[in-house]
Amino acid sequence: MIVDQFNTTLSGGAAVAAKRLHHALLESGISSRFFYLPKKKRETVPDDSYLAASSAWRSGGFTPRTWCQKQVQKLKFKRALRGRPPGLEMFSCTEVFPRTQMDVANLGTDIIQLHWVAKLIDYTSFFASIPDGFPVVWTLHDMNPFTGGCHHADECRQFTSICQHCPQLGQPGPNDLSQRNFETKQQAFHGKNIHIVTPSHWLENHVRESALLGSARSIQTIRHGLDVNLFASRNRAAARKRFGLSENQFVVGFGAASLSNRRKGFEELLQSLALLNNHERCVGLAMGNGELPASSEKLPALSTTGYLDDPEAVADFYAALDVFATTSMAETMGLVIAEAMASGIPVVAFAVGAIPEIVQPHRTGLLAPIGDCDQFACHLNWLAEHPEARIQLGRGAQELAFAEFNEQQQTNRYIELYQHAMAQP
């Protein structure tokens, strides 16, 4: 069985989850190839199973015509996004130049496995090039595949019927970019053998309600797989030494691919940290790209590891913590939460999206209402003052992580899905 996986980047939460599945399949004897969009600057590629996505396309590279088409498309896209409300995440277009047509027979592909593919595939040409009965498994990492362009719909429910008058566009209307994207996807998906995987039941329920993917051949939740033993086996003292932390400090961790991502709620985290009782003992340790605020008497000491890609370093980050804090304002799963739990670290989070599925009050962590920094800080202060409760919650978190995020369990379920998808007429 040859599985061709597609993810736009090699970094970020979706990429981490996709690469873990890729390597787990390889270790199980499945031939897996990982196609991605190389950056202009030099990028480290793990091994020769990682390939530039252009090598999968039937069409050639840029020609003067496709270059002009791309520039026109860029201008139209910028015009459609002009005047967007501030603080929103990216909004994606369905068009990509040059076109992305696959020749599955020539490649020898048995399964197409999509992940986060914004800016990677051109919806019209990509799906048109795939025979209707050919199996496509799509692991969703956000809501974009079934919306008119947004990656998180917030309170909007138009994806259940048709996207238009989009609240995330600067110029919403009855034939705005969201509706054009929506109709393009609708035509692209029609008659295709698509099987949807979500990392949470919350996202699965949204897919089932969606007009675009609600009628997919199958829809199911498969948790992201982790090497749970790697996260559970770290030495706390060595991890703290690695990041310059002392044993008697109360360390609050936070992680995101980008600390500046508004949805990740770094501003709310800072507000919560400012309310901690003992600034001398408490410290914050962030993992991810981005700058920390200048030192302030209102905040405890803060430091950052930067973006970590090495699995050993990532596991050490969690081992150094007393509690992991996530102030996400929207979340389809939260890979960093699962990693913290596998490390035996209790989690404090806002009760939003899929988070309450795994952050269970007084079993694996504590929850606060979304945006309630006072309550969030109260939870942190309580955990700082009750070390035995931290240990108990950490054990519960680790038990749930071992049960829900076991890598072999995930791999087996994907292989079963691939076999089922290939048997579909």
List the domain boundaries for the chain: 2-225+407-422, 228-404
Around Cβ 279, how many Cβ atoms within 10 Å? 14
pLDDT tens track for 192-228: 999 999 999 999 999 999 999 999 999 999 999 999 9
Residues 345, 394 contacting (CB under 8 angstroms) = yes
Domain spanning 228-404: CATH superfamily: Glycogen Phosphorylase B; (3.40.50.2000)
Burial class, 78, CB count within 10 angstroms (exposed 0-12 / middle 13-18 / buried 19+):
exposed
Burial class (CB in 10 A: 0-12, 13-18, 19+), 55: exposed
Query: Over 70: is that where the pLDDT of 93 sits?
Result: yes
As a whole number of angstroms, the distance between CA 11 and CA 47 comes to 15
Does pLDDT of 79 surpass 80? yes
Judge whether residue 131 has pLDDT over 90. yes
Residue 69 pLDDT exceeds 90: no
pLDDT band at 89 (very low <50, low <70, confident <90, very high): confident
60 pLDDT more than 70: no
What pLDDT shows up at residue 327? 97
154: pLDDT strictly greater than 70? yes
Please check the confidence at residue 99 and state whether its pLDDT lies above 70. yes
Do the domains spanning 2-225+407-422 and 228-404 agree at the CATH topology level? yes
Query: Mean pLDDT over residues 384-403, rounded?
Result: 97
Assigned CATH class of 2-225+407-422 = alpha beta
- Output the average pLDDT for the chain: 95
What percent of the chain has a predicted confidence (pLDDT) above 90?
A: 85
Q: Comparing C-alpha atoms, which of 353, 364, 330 is closest to residue 202?
A: 353
**356, amino acid identity:** P
pLDDT tens for each residue of 20-39 = 999 999 999 999 999 999 98
Average pLDDT estimate for 236-247: 96
Query: Phi/psi of residue 283, each to 5°?
Result: -135, 155
- Tell me the average pLDDT across 122-135: 97
Asked, as a colleague might, if the bond just before 199 is cis with ω within 30 of 0, I would say no
Whole-angstrom distance, CA of residue 104 vs CA of residue 152: 31
Q: What is the pLDDT of residue 171?
A: 86
> Could you tell me which residue, 278 or 66, shows the higher pLDDT?
278
pLDDT of residue 228: 95
Which pLDDT value is given to residue 354?
97
- Does residue 121 register a pLDDT over 70? yes
Q: Which of 288, 329, 293, 325 is nearest to 305 (CA)?
A: 288
Q: Is the pLDDT of residue 397 over 80?
A: yes
How distant is the alpha carbon of residue 124 from its chain centre? Answer: 24
- In this structure, how many other beta carbons lie within 10 angstroms of the beta carbon of residue 392? 14
Residue 259 confidence (pLDDT) above 80: yes
Characterise 29 by phi-psi region: left (phi > 0), alpha (psi -120 to 50), beta (else).
left
pLDDT of the residue at 291: 87
pLDDT band at 101; cut points 50, 70, 90: very high
Q: What is the pLDDT of residue 29?
A: 97
CA quadruple 361, 366, 371, 376: dihedral sign: positive
**Predicted pLDDT at 383:** 98
296 CB-side CA count, 13 A = 11
Full-model pTM: 0.94
The answer, yes or no, to whether residue 88 has pLDDT greater than 90, is no
Alpha carbon separation from 198 to 46, 138, 220, 223, 268 (Å, rounded): 26, 8, 6, 7, 27
Counting residues of the chain whose pLDDT is more than 70, the rounded percentage is: 99
